[in-house]
């Protein structure tokens, strides 16, 4: 009996056969998902709420590398990074649509694996997959996700609502996803040069941060329970420094971040040192942490004080004070957005 995995060419099913195969695995959970896959468009009832809509694309060779990103993890991550944007609006995601560009090197079984991750993310976050598209690609795998969420009008939080002297707060810890990427890239280089199998021991936490991140639904629920509505909020996809500057610029303010307050996991710190990198720089500019960065009024400080899930890392200032990082000796340095930029030239 052969141990070779079965491989079904996409051409054996065709586009409509593939769509039917994927659609057969989907069960809708929300009454607001009136019509899912199977018609010209999905039908969604907003139930009197405001809808928020966000779209992200992931391109092979730009946003992910299939030499070390398992397809199930990739599918999960593709959905989660979109849900993170919905939570950053203080909204609740309900539906997603998925568009795939597939080259002929992907068999049906690979698409099944990708969708398995997507459907797991939908299940874990209580979201319906209601539509999408598939097409042929000549440039590798392309994934496009649109997420749709809802919120009461008065609950939605924008990037531009911060006020002078508001506290700057972040969830979780920072820099882990970036260090996970560094480990993966190092082991890929070693494998290409020597053929040695990857040594990933002791890096589970930072590898999961990179390959299978989670959106911070729990933080939105926590803030609601504490009776705290952020004045501005954004998710950390491009790096803490970039996102803090986005809030400041959109709010017409400056911002001050304190280096000593940055939450960095011990594994992230140690790995950064092993790579001869500054852990604070990794936390500020690494990106892909998908934590929530938000501002709150100082009057709300006592409500969040001591909570292990969130950390006050700075505060907003007047615009003239600029964007500043305060080092551990009290020196001030200009805060620069050095995280991900989709249109920067790369070697």
pLDDT tens-digit map of 89-147: 999 999 999 999 998 889 989 999 999 999 999 999 999 999 888 898 987 899 999 99
What percent of the chain shows pLDDT beyond 70? 90
Alpha carbon 72 to its chain centroid, in Å, reads 16
> For residue range 281-316, what is the model confidence (pLDDT) as tens digits?
999 999 999 999 999 999 999 999 999 999 999 999
Chain CA centroid to CA 281, Å: 19
Q: Which domain-ending residue is among 155, 187, 216?
A: 155
d(CA 248, CA 158): 12
Q: Of 155, 178, 204, at which residue does a domain stop? A: 155
Full domain range(s) for residue 316 = 167-334
Q: At what angle do helices 266-274 and 204-211 cross, to 10 degrees?
A: 90
Q: Are residues 107 and 181 both part of a single domain?
A: no
The residue-averaged pLDDT of 323-335 equals 95
What does the pLDDT average to over 37-55?
Answer: 86
Do 219 and 144 belong together in one domain?
no
Last residue of a domain, one of 155, 176, 210: 155
217 located within any domain: yes
Do the domain assignments include residue 318?
yes
Which whole number is the average pLDDT over 171-183? Answer: 97
Q: Looking at the structure, do residues 136 and 199 belong to the same domain, yes or no?
A: no
Sign of the alpha-carbon torsion through 40, 106, 139, 97: positive
The verdict on pTM exceeding 0.75 is yes
The CATH number linked to 122 is: 3.30.1330.10
For the chain, the domain total comes to: 2
In a domain, 339, yes or no: no
Would the pLDDT of 341 be above 60? no
């Amino acid at each position: 009996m052969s141990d070779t995995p079965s491989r079904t060419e996409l051409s054996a099913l065709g586009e409509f056969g593939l769509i039917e195969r994927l659609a057969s695995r989907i069960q809708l959970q929300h009454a607001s998902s009136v019509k899912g896959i199977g018609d010209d468009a999905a039908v969604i009832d907003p139930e009197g709420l405001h809808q928020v809509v966000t779209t992200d694309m992931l391109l092979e060779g730009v946003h992910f590398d299939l030499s070390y990103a398992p397809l199930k993890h990739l599918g999960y991550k593709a959905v989660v990074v979109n849900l993170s944007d919905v939570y950053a609006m203080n909204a609740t995601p309900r539906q997603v649509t998925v568009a795939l560009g597939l080259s002929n090197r992907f068999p049906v079984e690979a698409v099944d694996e990708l969708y398995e991750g997507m459907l797991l993310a939908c299940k874990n976050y209580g979201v319906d997959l209601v539509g999408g598209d598939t097409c042929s690609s000549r440039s590798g795998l392309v994934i496009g996700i649109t997420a749709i969420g809802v919120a009461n009008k008065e609950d939605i939080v924008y990037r531009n609502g911060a006020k002078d002297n508001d506290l700057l707060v972040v969830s979780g810890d920072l820099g882990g996803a970036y260090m996970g990427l560094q480990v993966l890239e190092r082991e890929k280089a070693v494998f290409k040069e020597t053929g040695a199998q990857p040594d990933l021991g002791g890096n589970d936490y930072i590898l999961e941060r990179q390959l299978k991140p989670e959106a911070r639904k729990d933080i939105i629920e926590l803030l609601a329970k504490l009776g705290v509505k952020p004045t501005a909020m954004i998710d950390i996809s491009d790096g803490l420094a970039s996102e803090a500057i986005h809030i400041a610029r959109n709010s017409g303010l400056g911002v001050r971040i304190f280096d000593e307050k940055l939450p960095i996991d011990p594994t992230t710190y140690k790995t950064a040192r092993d790579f001869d990198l500054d852990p604070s720089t990794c936390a500020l500019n690494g990106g892909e942490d998908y934590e929530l960065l938000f501002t709150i009024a100082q009057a709300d400080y006592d409500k969040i004080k001591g909570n292990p899930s969130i950390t006050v890392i700075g505060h907003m200032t007047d615009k003239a004070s600029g964007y500043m990082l305060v080092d551990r000796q009290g020196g001030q340095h200009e805060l620069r957005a050095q995280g991900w930029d989709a249109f920067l030239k790369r070697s």
